[in-house]
Amino acid sequence: MSFQNSPPQREGLQAFGHRKMVNPSSQQSHHKLSLDIVRSALFACGEPCNLEQVSFYPDIESMAARQRESKNWSQGEIFVFSRAENCFLIAKQIAPSSCEFLVVTHDGYQDVLTAYLFGKEELVAALKSYIR
């Protein structure tokens, strides 16, 4: 599957241009999942994928911390962590002005969760449980 004119992939907080930028050197050690795989995984769950809203995280801890920073995310924000092309976690904000995320992994749909209702450690544990 190929897509034309894909915008450059953004990482971590950098994907939110109006927010604090991430030091790119801190993002080098993780596997960056292709946008084609992100898009395909979401489409398989009936969800569209706006490439401008995709953010990549080096670990689940930083992804969970970012998800918990707001109770009112823009609908469609997509958070991605991957260990490899066949081991990944995608959390997509699915409700307007809320913190409800559709959780999708390499095994497909997993859950819908409200990130701010979890403590940071609880959210990290929940997210990690989906990709063990």
- pLDDT per position as a tens digit, 3-42: 333 343 444 444 433 333 333 334 444 578 999 999 999 9
Phi (first) and psi of residue 21, to 5 degrees: -85, 155
Burial class of 23 by CB neighbour count within 10 A (0 to 12, 13 to 18, 19+): exposed
Residues of the domain holding 28: 12-129
pLDDT tens, residue by residue, 65-90: 999 998 888 899 999 999 999 999 99
User: Domains in the chain: how many in total?
Assistant: 1
Q: Tell me whether residue 49 is in a domain.
A: yes
Q: Tell me whether residue 2 is in a domain.
A: no
97: left (phi over 0), alpha (psi -120 to 50) or beta: left
Contact indicator for 2, 36 with CB cutoff of 8 Å: yes
* Location of structure tokens 């962590």: 81
Q: Tell me whether residue 68 is in a domain.
A: yes
Q: Tell me whether residue 4 is in a domain.
A: no
